[in-house]
Amino acid sequence: MKYLTFNNGVKTPIFGFGTYRIQPRITEGAVVEALKAGYRLIDTAQAYSNEAEVGNAINKSGIKREDIFLTTKAQTSGYRETKNGIDESLIHAQQDYFDLMIIHWPMSDSLGTYQALEEAYQVGKLRSIGLSNFNHDQVNEIMNNFDTKPVVDQIETSVFKQQKKMHKYLIENNIVHESWSPLGEGMKALFNDPTLLSLAEKYNKTVPQIALHFLVQENIMTIPGSTNPLHMKDNLDIFDFEFTAEEMETLRGLDQKRGIGGWPASMDQELDY
Ligand code: NAD
């Protein structure tokens, strides 16, 4: 495993397990499998309605809590609602703290939402706070209004949608670029891409392993999801090789600014700035 250190000094595994679209009734089992496979970063959200099941899996795992990095996301707008939401999430997940809580998407009152996150950070309920689906201007607005800098912006990113401008901007501001849907939700075009297939052959890996390793080698925090234990294991087995500089350039050339679609334009990070 490779680790990153946030701008507030908190250390995180670069690679973890996403739980979007995992039904609550099977989430506990899936997270138990993921922890068994070796994942130590788990990503959930209020919007996934599975925080309780993720918490159950962590609490039953026998793994020390401090060895697990748990992220959740606020789906509330404004100070009061978010303050209550944080406490409800902690109760649902049966946790004393989250390692990271991010605003799931820009809210009508993102400043009030962030204020509640900052307050919870200051009293130790959250070890770090950040953003998701915020574009350049929206991240700037947060930075201009608060002393506590966001540690991450979790945005849609895959080898087909590399978010190069946001990547550069986030690095310049010492904010970690975190990817969601790193496999383009399993899109066929990505799995059949000839360049990825030939690198898979060269390194004796699968295409998803190649696509995931590319993001990790770019220092992008990455959290693929799967309920298949074999895929969980495979996705994690990407730390025993490195692409050459030339291969990284070739992979950067695969960017098509092509995402899974269906997200409001205001959340599209490729807006010119
Ligand atoms: P993903 O790109 O991780 O793809 C998941 C799909 O790929 C699933 O259908 C899975 O079965 C398949 N898959 C995974 N590994 C595979 C393998 N080795 N071989 C073949 N198929 C494989 O998409 P995702 O789950 O939407 O995104 C990952 C995580 O990102 C989510 O679980 C969630 O935690 C987070 N997320 C966040 C946001 C946000 O707004 N912040 C939005 C979407 C997802």
Known catalytic residue: 48? yes
| For ligand 1, atom 21: residue with the closest CA | 186
In-domain check, residue 265: no
Residue-level pLDDT at 198: 98
Query: Which of 212, 226, 260, when mutated, tests ligand 1's pocket best, judged by the most ligand atoms within 8 Å of its CB?
Result: 226
C-alpha 17 to ligand 1 mean position (Å): 9
| Domain annotation covers residue 262 | no
Which segments in the chain show pLDDT lower than 50?
273
71's tokens: 């992220």
Which pLDDT does position 259 carry in this prediction? Answer: 78
Is 263 a member of any domain? Answer: no
- Per the annotation, does 104 bind a ligand? yes
For residue 194, the model assigns a pLDDT of: 98
Is the residue at 273 inside a domain?
A: no
Atom 32 in ligand 1: residue holding the nearest Cα: 18
The single residue of 48, 114, 121, 169 carrying the catalytic annotation is 48
- pLDDT of 260 reads 79
What local confidence, expressed as pLDDT, does residue 135 receive? Answer: 92
Residue 261 lies in a domain: no
> Is 264 inside a domain boundary?
no
Residue 181, classed as helix, strand or coil, is coil
Residue 242 lies in a domain: yes
**Into how many domains does the chain fold?**
1
Q: What is the CATH number of the domain that holds 164?
A: 3.20.20.100
**What's the first-to-final CA gap in the chain, in angstroms?**
34
Q: Which residues pair with 72 in a beta bridge?
A: 101
Which residue's CA is the nearest one to ligand 1's atom 11? 226
CA distances from 49 to 95, 103, 115, 213 (A): 16, 16, 24, 29
Residue 266 has a pLDDT of 59
- Specify the residue with its C-alpha closest to ligand 1, atom 4: 185
Structural domain span for residue 52: 3-252
Measured from the Cα of 20, ligand 1's closest atom is 32
In a domain, 90, yes or no: yes
Structure-token pair, residue 218: 């770019």
Q: Which residues line ligand 1 (CB under 6 A)?
A: 18-20, 43, 104, 132-133, 154, 180-186, 208, 223-226, 231, 234-235
